[in-house]
Chain A
Amino acid sequence: MPPDFIAAWLNKNDIFTALTIMEYWDGMVTTVQLVFLSLIIGLVFAVPLAILRTVKNPFVSGPVWLYTYLFRGTPLLIQLYIIYYGVAQIPGIQQTFWWEIFREPFYPALLAFTLNTCAYTTEIIRGAIVSTPHGEIEAAKAYGMNWFMRMRRIVLPSAARRAVQAYSNEVIFMLHSSAIASVVTIVDLTGAARNIYSRFYAPFDAFIFVALCYMALTFILVFAFRKLENHLLRHQRPVGS
């Protein structure tokens, strides 16, 4: 049944032609670029921010707390609207070089996604840092390590191990949140599905296909994180396994 049945079905369908498959493919490329770049940039900024967030001095940790509170306390869609439509309303921005960047929807979306994921990642890493066992820090102090060396050798590596599982969730959430990029005219996976849906009025075909695409991407992410966890947490496995 399967091959003939599928071939026959493909022959009589108007929707999944080479043209629309290419649209989905271009959408997938855009989604992956958007999500990957925002995650990487977000992670790079989240590590120092998380360290600052654990500092005792409120003038240092306060602003970071405010930032994470603002971006975790508001929906990503609203952040995207504010950045995308908001910057276009700033008087005279069209005459500055910034407009070259913000004219295209990709960069406002990248900015919104980066700020959002960075806020969540900061909190994830902070949580991992503050839950470092006291004994490890005391032992490091006893060895005469200064603050910087303690961070680099003891706190951050063990925090990374504790953070990786929560962070893998954040990565998957980010992939799914990126679907809202289509509201600001970006043709990502969801944007492609919406265009194809509105051309053929076939919501099931258009959206189930795109759901499968997201599932395939999620599967890749889950697989990669499992490998990473196995690598980072191998000291927790039973001996000999």
Chain B
Amino acid sequence: MKNLFIAASCAFAFMAGGVQAQDTSIGSSDPRSLRIAFDVPYEPFEYKDENGELTGFEVELAEAMCEQMNATCKFVIQAWDGMIPGLLARKFDLIMSSMSITPERAERVLFSEPYYNTPGGWFGPEGFNADVTDMDAMKGKTVGVQRGTTMDTYVTEEMSGIVTIKRYTTADDMVLDLEGQRLDVVFVDYPVGEQTVLSKEGFKEVGEAVKLGEGVGVAMRKRDADIARDVNSALRTLKEDGTYDTIMQKYFAYDVKI
């Protein structure tokens, strides 16, 4: 048993060494090559257009950022559940998939400065007329959120025990259950709700949008401080030279800049 343990730890150390060696070779190559992960569809941030091409606010911002950093970038599709594990397992180097900066996530990954912030929005059917901030009116209602989002944290902290919380992996499944009347109301990232819920007949915004958290940042591995430095300076340049505003105006009628 002990021998097995030693053998296993040797094998592990060997693998870790192998990965590290590979890492330095990537770091030294010029121009730098980076793999950026997105979870699609998450309109209007990242989704595939009619031709199957990856596009959206964050995708265009990532393209501009890579150009600014003089890096060759490859885009990777990764489901939300496996985002942070995938990053830590070196399947990709950056996450630019609307990942809000939270203390729990910051324990595992390194965040850039925030590059946008959108509020959480309450959406429900036309007939819904309870005040979402009134806990008595909300008692017994069923609220849908995306698992692990800042909206999930907010509802879990503020409304546990008052409402029934249902957690979904994708926004699509959640909207399907809202249409099917399994949910009374959903609390979702505002632009996503705008695209997926308000675009449907018979649904409306049912409460005031709530500003949550510090905003969304690029997530990297903790050891990649040099990449983070370049990402931050690239983002700062884009925000100042107007590139950011041009991209933003393409996707939003309101300000998400932070």
Contact = CB atoms under 8 A, between A and B. Distances in A.
Contacts of A185: 166-168, 177
A62 interface: no
B181 A201 contact: no
Given A185-B166, A195-B167, A201 B84 contact: yes
A89 B176 CA distance: 9
Given A88-B181, A94-B181, A183-B169, A198 B176 contact: no
Band of interface residues on B: 20 to 34
B168 A201 contact: no
Interface in A69-127: 85, 88-89, 94, 99, 103, 105
A150 interface: no
A219 interface: no
A21 to B, nearest CB: 17
Interface string B146-182: 0110001100000000000011110001001101111
A88 B182 CA distance: 8
Contact of A88 (B84, B105, B153, B180): B180
A88 B176 contact: yes
Contacts of B181: 88, 94, 99, 103
Nearest to B80: A198
B108 interface: yes
Contacts of A200: 104
A198 B100 CA distance: 13
Nearest to A94: B181
Contacts of A94: 180-181
Interface in A194-223: 194-195, 197-201, 203
A194 B147 contact: yes
Given A88-B182, A103-B182, A185-B167, A198 B177 contact: no
B149 to A, nearest CB: 9
B103 to A, nearest CB: 11
B169 A199 contact: no
Nearest to A203: B85
Given A183-B169, A201-B107, 18 more contacts: A85-B176, A88-B177, A88-B181, A94-B180, A94-B181, A103-B182, A183-B173, A185-B166, A185-B167, A194-B81, A194-B167, A195-B147, A198-B148, A198-B152, A198-B167, A200-B104, A201-B84, A201-B105
Interface of A: 85, 88-89, 94, 99, 103, 105, 183, 185, 194-195, 197-201, 203
Interface of B: 81, 84-85, 104-105, 107-108, 147-148, 152-153, 166-169, 173, 176-177, 179-182
12 contacts: A85-B176, A88-B177, A88-B179, A88-B180, A88-B181, A103-B182, A195-B167, A198-B147, A198-B152, A198-B167, A201-B84, A201-B105
